[in-house]
């Protein structure tokens, strides 16, 4: 029964990913705006499906997903991240789809001129993102033991943005680093745990994260980069000596 529920959630997540991908690739809506639509409507849809209730889920198998598998000392979510990371790395390095995805991300116009269909690539990317989202949802349900449409994984999107930014990925698209994103996720989780250990309120934690996002975006802006390059040239470039004849 749990396996059927997981597969059903993957199918629904893929359809949602296809919806977002269609808005982005076909109708050329900004990705942040397109995903904001389902981000806003997702919890009300879950509320409507559950009839306003928060059903509990009692299954030993599901419980293992969010905690530990007996006999394995590593938390199951970390194992899932490792498996997904390896699969995505292999996909990006050794398949045409991975190569095309990186090409479209770096320069969509150039990819189109080389015979790559950016619409299809974006659709596939959002559909695969849907599978990852479904897996994250299953981990959330496993850890809470119930399906709470109001609080489960609330505000996790800010952590995702922070992880990507800290990992050295451009928020506007382009080259990316999967390893950097994973490292960024652990950094932001360590920051969150540290702030809570310091008895910082949940509202204040969001403010600290917002400050970090602003700092990263500003430091990564073209204006700051250009200024840093100019400063570096002034400090480390030696003036040419003119010798008299």
Question: What is the Cα–Cα distance from 97 to 103, expressed in whole angstroms?
Answer: 10
**What does the pLDDT read at residue 86?**
93
| Model confidence band, residue 157 (pLDDT cutoffs 50, 70, 90) | confident
Predicted confidence (pLDDT) per residue in 109-121, tens digit: 999 999 999 999 9
**What does the pLDDT read at residue 8?**
92
Burial class (CB in 10 A: 0-12, 13-18, 19+), 233: exposed
Least confident of 40-44, 67-71, 183-187, 235-239: 235-239
Displacement of CA 180 from its chain's centroid (Å): 12
**What does the pLDDT read at residue 113?**
92
Structural contact between residues 135 and 12, judged by C-beta atoms closer than 8 angstroms: no
Domain ranges in the chain are 1-153, 155-237
**What does the pLDDT read at residue 112?**
92
**What does the pLDDT read at residue 241?**
57
Please say if the pLDDT value at position 243 is more than 80.
no
For the segment 136-152, the average pLDDT, to the nearest whole number, is: 86
pTM for this structure? 0.82
Please say if the pLDDT value at position 44 is more than 80.
yes
- In this structure, the number of other CB atoms found within 10 A of the CB of residue 63 comes to 16
Least confident of 30-39, 196-205, 216-225: 216-225
Predicted confidence (pLDDT) per residue in 199-213, tens digit: 988 889 888 888 887
Tokens of 75: 């938390």
Please say if the pLDDT value at position 244 is more than 60.
no
In the DSSP assignment, the letter for residue 69 is: -
Least confident of 2-16, 87-101, 167-181: 167-181
Please say if the pLDDT value at position 130 is more than 70.
yes
**What does the pLDDT read at residue 12?**
93
- In this structure, the number of other CB atoms found within 10 A of the CB of residue 126 comes to 24
Question: For a pLDDT cut of 70, what percent of the chain falls above it?
Answer: 96
Of 81, 59, 84, 54, nearest in space to 142 by CA: 59
């Amino acid at each position: 029964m749990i396996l059927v529920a997981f597969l059903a959630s993957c199918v629904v997540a893929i359809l949602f990913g296809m919806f977002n991908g269609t808005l982005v690739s076909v109708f050329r809506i900004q990705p942040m705006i397109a995903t904001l639509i389902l981000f806003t409507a997702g919890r009300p849809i879950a509320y409507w499906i559950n009839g306003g209730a928060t059903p509990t889920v009692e299954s030993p198998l599901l419980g293992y997903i969010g905690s530990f598998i007996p006999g394995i000392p590593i938390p199951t979510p970390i194992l899932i991240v490792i498996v997904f990371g390896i699969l995505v790395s292999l996909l990006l390095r050794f398949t045409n789809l991975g190569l095309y995805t990186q090409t479209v991300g770096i320069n969509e116009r150039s990819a189109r001129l080389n015979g790559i269909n950016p619409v299809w690539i974006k659709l596939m990317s959002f559909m695969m993102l849907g599978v990852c989202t479904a897996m994250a949802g299953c981990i959330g349900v496993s850890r809470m033991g119930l399906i709470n449409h109001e609080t489960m994984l609330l505000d996790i999107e800010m952590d995702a943005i922070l992880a990507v930014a800290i990992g050295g990925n451009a928020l506007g698209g382009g080259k990316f680093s999967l390893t950097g994103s994973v490292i960024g996720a652990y950094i932001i989780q360590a920051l969150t745990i540290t702030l809570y250990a310091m008895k910082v309120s949940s509202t204040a934690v969001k403010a600290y994260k917002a400050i970090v996002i602003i700092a990263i975006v500003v430091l990564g802006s073209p204006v700051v980069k250009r200024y840093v390059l100019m400063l570096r040239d002034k400090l480390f470039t030696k003036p040419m000596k003119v010798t008299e004849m």
